Amino acid sequence: MNTNDVKSAKRVLTILQFFAQTRAPASLTQISAALGFPKSSCLALLDTLEGEGYAHQTGGRYYLTRRWFNEARAIAEHDQLAARVRPVLEELRDKLRETLILAQRSDSQVLYLDVAEPERIVRFTARTGELKPLHAAASGRALLAAMAPAEREALLARMPLPRFTDQTPTTRDALQKMLEEGDRRGYHVNLGEHQADTLSVAAPVVLYGTPYALTVGAPLERAKPQVRQIGGMLVEAAARLAAEVGRANAAPA
């Protein structure tokens, strides 16, 4: 794939996000201005989406078709990872009344794969597809700890450690100490290191040969007294999930 293909792919995703946020038809001029694309490039992308059945026009204004929804639903319904993990996220969410997240490493960042939020006005807000820094998130440190030592050292050697709050680890030594503490506990804790008023607790779990992190995010003051309880529940859930997936993989077809 050449550079122009990558650029076009990113612009298509940006158009999709534009309509997800605006939730209303828009003219070529509006879309081009909002996204900062040249009008000619924007028109070419919209024409392609329209020609493939992903967009339509009404009165000179563009909107996306339900083909996006239909294909996304078909993909989601056959996601073996989500089928296994989602019930666990929802079970823990209902017990703790806090936000549950399944996360995976994407190079030097944490990628949220699934999120289950409680029905509380004050809660840790997250969304699927969100990216977080590895060093300043409990999920990130759980994922770092799950890496082979040589691979982790190579990543840390090139990874920046920016400061987000006064609690953020910004040196290799400080981060290594946190990783070792988390390994001893079996779960990793972030107390206001990315956002000063939130905490997260995460336990690593290997599913289908790939490391993931089961994570709880919550307001710092509310959940801080329950960190040990939360960590224990995550460790137990991770062990249960890994065992279930292992049995399923071992079962004859």
- pLDDT tens string 6-32: 788 888 889 998 998 999 999 999 999
Q: How far apart are CA 83 and CA 1, in angstroms?
A: 32
The two tokens of residue 75 are 């993909």
User: How far from the centroid of its chain's Cα atoms is residue 14's Cα?
Assistant: 18
* Percent of the chain residues topping a pLDDT of 90: 72
Quick: pLDDT tens for 75-107: 777 777 778 899 999 999 999 999 999 999 998
Residue 80 burial (C-beta neighbours within 10 Å; 0-12, 13-18, 19+) = exposed
pLDDT in tens, 140-190: 999 999 999 999 999 999 999 999 999 999 999 999 999 999 999 999 999
Q: By C-alpha distance, which of 211, 245, 199 is closest to 104?
A: 211
* Each residue's pLDDT tens digit, 100-135: 999 999 988 999 999 999 999 999 999 998 999 999
Q: What is the mean pLDDT of residues 41-46?
A: 90
Contact assessment for residue 102 and residue 88, using Cβ atoms and an 8 Å cutoff: no
- Give the span between the Cα atoms of 93 and 96, in whole angstroms: 5
Helix, strand, coil percentages (3-state) for the chain, rounded to 5, are: 50, 20, 25
Full set of structural domains in the chain with CATH: 3-70 (1.10.10.10), 79-250 (3.30.450.40)
Q: Please give the radius of gyration of the chain, using alpha carbons only, rounded to the nearest integer.
A: 21
pTM score of the predicted model: 0.78
pLDDT at 4 over 90: no
CB neighbourhood size of 111 (10 A): 17
